Amino acid sequence: MSIAAKRRETEVFSLAFLDCICCGFGAVILVFILTLSQKTSIDKVDLENARARLQSMQRDASATQQDLDRLAQVLAAAQLELQDINAKNTQDQLKLSDRQRELLLMLQQTGAMKDALATLLGEKKALPTEDHAPVPIPNVDRRQYLTGVKLNGEFIVFLVRCSGSMLDETIELAAGRLEDSDTKKREAPKWQRVIASLEWMLASLDPETHFQILFFNEETTPILPNRMDEWFSTKDRKSISEMMTRLHNIVPQGGANLERAFTSVRFLPRLPDSIILITDGLPTKSDSLPYEGDVGEEQRIRFFEIATKQLPPRIPVSTILFPLLTGDPGAPGLYWELANATRGALVSPSKSWPDT
């Protein structure tokens, strides 16, 4: 074999093979170029879509952030309100505790009051069932003897003479009793009838009627000292009891200043609707006309006239005139004129009232 033949045998690639290789490589390059161009176009569209989605997500995120901000504000306000509610709740708890303590104390007091009430009811059951009148009526069967006295009005003043003449039926006998002890003076029959007449009239008062009792001799004093500015009623059993005790402890003595008694009525906190005068004759003293020595009938009449001028106007004056057999023959006529002028009444109980 020749050298030329040997060379041809050792060549692996021919021209045709190289051409095919080049053509294939070019085809690959062409396909790559065409694919790359199409890929660039597709990526641009995806990018635009991605940008659009991003902007939409940014808007959504912004709206969500605004919602979160509003929710944060609402939450902050709710937290403040919750703090206020907690503080108020704490105060309410304190108040509730105080009220619970007060309620417990009230329950304890109620229990104590119930026990005290039960005790009082037991004591009440043990008391006598008879209901005694606040003022005893002396000799009920004889009380009609004083029916002429007008106990009219809502406010009544009783003026009770307690001078020495109230000890007996005559000036001489009364003067003879002045040396007696206070106990004997209180027990004088005439004075006891005066007390009985006052008790009967008090017992005859309507429970709604208010009254005051003034005793007069040379001075004028209320039946209960230091209580001249008060009005009483028979419903006030405590005061009535004090009055009855005081009434039976008064000792008749001295002269009788009717002017001062009528003047005292003027200075009461309220003028009365009627005056009940319990006396046995004309006055023996006068502030406007001082007189020394023995006082005769003429002076006594003058004292009476001066006294009546001190009466408040338009108030009825009813007189219970106990008998004084010597010294004042003109007394009944003058007291009758007073009753007529004031539209009052004049009553003169018998010597035996209220015993027979």
CATH number of the domain bearing residue 343: 3.40.50.410
Rounded CA-CA distance 173/96 in Å is 81
Mark the ranges of the chain whose per-residue pLDDT is less than 70: 1-15, 36-43, 124-150, 327, 351-356
For residue 140, the model assigns a pLDDT of 45
76 and 198 belong to one structural domain:
no
Find the domain containing 51 and state its range: 19-130
DSSP secondary structure string for all residues of 228-266: TT--B-TT-HHHHHHHHHHHTT----S---HHHHHHHHH
Residue 356 resides in a domain: no
Residue 4 resides in a domain: no
Residue 22, Cβ density class (10 Å: 0-12 exposed, 13-18 middle, ≥19 buried)? exposed
Rounded CA-CA distance 150/196 in Å is 17
Residue 3 resides in a domain: no
For residue 242, the model assigns a pLDDT of 94
For residue 148, the model assigns a pLDDT of 59
For residue 142, the model assigns a pLDDT of 44
Query: Per the structure, how many domains does the chain have?
Result: 2
Nearest to 317 by CA among 134, 143, 158: 158
Last residue of a domain, one of 78, 109, 130: 130
248 and 342 belong to one structural domain:
yes
For residue 124, the model assigns a pLDDT of 66
Residue 2 resides in a domain: no
255 and 169 belong to one structural domain:
yes
Residues 6 or more apart whose Cβ sits within 8 Å of residue 122: none
314 and 186 belong to one structural domain:
yes
Q: Which element (helix H / strand E) includes 121?
A: helix 15-126
Residue 9 resides in a domain: no
Residue 355 resides in a domain: no
106 and 149 belong to one structural domain:
no
For residue 109, the model assigns a pLDDT of 78
The alpha carbon dihedral of 227, 233, 238, 240 has a sign of positive
312 and 259 belong to one structural domain:
yes
For residue 88, the model assigns a pLDDT of 83
